[in-house]
Each structure stands twice: as structure tokens, then as C-alpha cells.
Amino acid sequence: MFNAKPLITLSTVFGLFCVGALSSSVQARDLTVVSWGGSYQDVQRQIFFAPYAKDSGHKVLEDSWDSGIGILRTKADGPDSGWDVVQVEGEDLQLGCSEDLFLPLDFSRIGGKDNYIPSAASECGVGAAVYNFVLGYDKSKLKGTPQGWNDFFDLKTYPGKRALRQGPKGNLEIALMADGVPVADVYKVLTTPEGVKRAFTKLDQIKDQLLFWKSGGQPMQLLASGEVAMTTSYNGRVTNAIKQDHKPFGLVWNQSLQTMDSWVILRNSPNVEAAYGLLKEMGNPEQQKLWPALQPTGITAVKGIAQVDPKVLADMPSAPQNSQNVLQIDDKFWVDRVDELSAKWTAWSAK
């Protein structure tokens, strides 16, 4: 099992001057953007952060994190968190906005709401990426091709360890689908005490064969090292491992879990003007259209989507062959239940 890692500080500086320390003055410190690290953030740096720094003359610092409302609450408590623009998951967006952790966004400063797909424009956030949690596997380790989460739990037909993301979100849904619950009924079942118990009971079946990951790069590392035969992962990470790193991996779109991340500005940011400038750059269709070829996840700028190469679209979640029998993660469910189910997950993990 992976031990929880501390936040990884990249502290990478872009702009006309690439090396420099943060000023001790809050007003003078540089813009800091926070995302998921690894190859994912490498692409963001290439097509968003570095061009913005060059065009604006603003230095851009980076940090990475593994998500969690508790971290955001801590960061927002005080005169300055050291963070400005943060990529957040759906339930953290809703919780943070309701708790006044983020600034309400003025979309007139970032191209207008019509610049984005409807679901990407919310009170406190603007859509960053649409992606799926998929089943990733090592073809060289398996005889046969897994078709869904039932095969993930089938240790007899597909022997080898498995890896899941640490925490209940996504894993409880996966367990229920593996246990035969149709995609359309997952949250109906999970809302009940019996459904929660059923999910944990299913997870018990493979618990002694489980490893857990936190950061987005770890699933592919686990497959590449041979530590696991199957893992949950972000679709773009698996596709890049196959196409760029030439790994003998496969992925299963069936029963994958789709969600959207958003960019927010922390309420105590002293760099609001620069933060809006970066958000505008990241919403620019001419920049967004470059994203899918390097990181095959969905983009949110309407005009950018229209310019994506059809060959690239085949690897994206929106492709017709990839979007059948897909579960949309219910952010409202997790806003309401995250504390309760996280406590149950912690207790289950400790047994």
C-alpha cells in the first residue's frame, strides 16, 4: 500500500526570469498555480503556464497536490495561502464555493460564459478538463482482455494485484458495478445503508490483493514495475503510456467514471489580476486545442473543441465508442456524504 505522500512542491518559475525566490512580502510574491503534477502538469506548463508568463511578463510558480477539501480550508484560513489558482475536483468545487473559500468568477474577464461548454461555467470555477477513471491493465500479465469492473475483481481468471485510488470516491461506485449494479442505478443503491455495506463487502473480496495510489502518475508506475496487473487510472495517463512510452498496456472505457475538474481562485489570493490573466489564457481556444494531442482528456472551450483533430478525438472521453455505459460521478452525492464515507473508508482500511 502506498503511504500518503506530502504535497510535492515544484516551485518552478517561468517568465523572463526563470530563477528567483518568493518575496517575503505578500503583495510582491509571484502568481502560484496548483495542479496534479507529473506529465499532466508538464503539458499544462507547455501550453498554458509558460506562454502566459512569456506574454504577460508575470513569473508563474507551480505547486502540486492530491486534492481534498481539508487542505483548501487550511489554505484559505489566513491572509495568504501561498496559492492563487488551483485545479480542483467537482465536490471540492461545490464545497469550497459554499464555504467561501474561492472567489466568485467574473466570466467577462475570461472570455464570457459562452466561450465554454455549459457545465464548465459555475459560480466559482471554470472547467479545466473532462476525463474518465478507467480500468488500466498490463496486457503482458493477463491471458484474455478484461471488459469491466467484474473482471477487476476476478482474481482467478486475471491473477495479480490491483491498485485503487486511496479514498471512497469512485471505489464504492466501482465495487457496486462489479457486483452487478447497472450504471444507471449506482447512486440509487449507494444512497442506502445497504448499498454502502454492499460496496465494502465487495471490496473485501480483493482487499488482500490491493495497493492504493494517491498521485496521478502512480498507477502507470505500478503497472510498469509489475507490482499490479490492473489499476484504476485517468484515461489520459494510460493512453500516453501506450502511445508515448510504448507500454504494453490497455484500458477499458466500459463502466468508466467521468468527471470534470475546474480552476478556482483562492479567496485570499493577493494576485487576483494575474490569476484572471492566467485563467483567460487557459480558456483561449487556440491554446486549448493543443491539449488533447498531448493529454487526451476533454477540453472546455467550445471553439477549441471544434478545432481538435478527429484522429485525436478517438482517444478522448467524448468519442462515441468511449462514451457508452459510462457513469457520471455525482458531485452532489459526494458533497453530502464525503465526511461520512471517508470515515467508513478509513475504518475499513485499518481492519
pLDDT tens-place string over residues 154-198: 999 999 999 999 999 999 999 999 999 999 999 999 999 999 999
Scored b (16 or more CB within 10 A) or e, 231-250 reads bbbbbbbbbbbbeeeebebb
User: So what's the pLDDT on residue 14?
Assistant: 42
Residue-wise pLDDT tens digits, 32-53: 999 999 889 999 999 999 999 9
* pLDDT value at residue 292: 93
Lowest mean pLDDT segment, chosen from 138-142, 250-254, 311-315: 311-315
- The model's pLDDT over 73-115, given as tens digits with 9 standing for 90+, comes to 999 988 888 999 999 999 999 999 999 999 999 999 999 999 9
Report the phi/psi class of residue 196: left, alpha or beta, with left for phi > 0 and alpha for psi in -120 to 50.
alpha
Query: Structural domains in the chain?
Result: 26-130+260-318 (3.40.190.10), 133-258+322-350 (3.40.190.10)
pLDDT given for residue 78 in this prediction: 85
Q: What is the pLDDT of residue 3?
A: 39
Residues 6+ apart with CB under 8 A from 17: 59
Instruction: For the chain, give the percent of residues with pLDDT over 90.
Output: 85
pLDDT in tens, 280-302: 999 999 999 999 999 999 999 99
Facing residues of 27 across strands?
none
The Cα 163–Cα 165 span in angstroms is: 7
Grid coordinates 484522429 are at which residue? Answer: 311
How would residue 118 be classed by pLDDT, with cut points 50, 70 and 90? very high
The answer to whether 10 and 62 have CB atoms below 8 angstroms apart is yes
**What average pLDDT does the segment 50-60 reach?**
97
Is the pLDDT reported for residue 16 higher than 70?
Answer: no
| Phi, psi (rounded to 5 degrees) for 251 | -140, 155
Q: Given this model, what pLDDT does residue 28 score? A: 62
Higher pLDDT among residues 202 and 244, named by residue: 202
| Summary mean pLDDT of the chain | 91
Question: CB 197: neighbour CB atoms within 10 A?
Answer: 11
Contact at 8 Å (CB) between 235 and 242? no
- Of 72, 102, 237, 74, which is closest to residue 165 (Cα–Cα)? 237
Q: Shortest CA distance to 217 belongs to which of 17, 50, 5, 25?
A: 5
Query: What does the pLDDT average to over 7-35?
Result: 54
Q: How many angstroms separate the CA atoms of 198 and 176, rounded?
A: 7
Residue 18: CB atoms within 10 Å: 11
Residue 81 CB: number of other CB atoms within 10 A?
21
Distance CA 134, CA 235 (A): 6
What does the pLDDT average to over 234-238? Answer: 95
User: Beta 230-234 vs 162-165: how paired, if at all?
Assistant: parallel
The pLDDT of residue 7 is 38
| 3-class secondary structure, 326 | coil
Enter the DSSP assignment of 5.
Answer: P
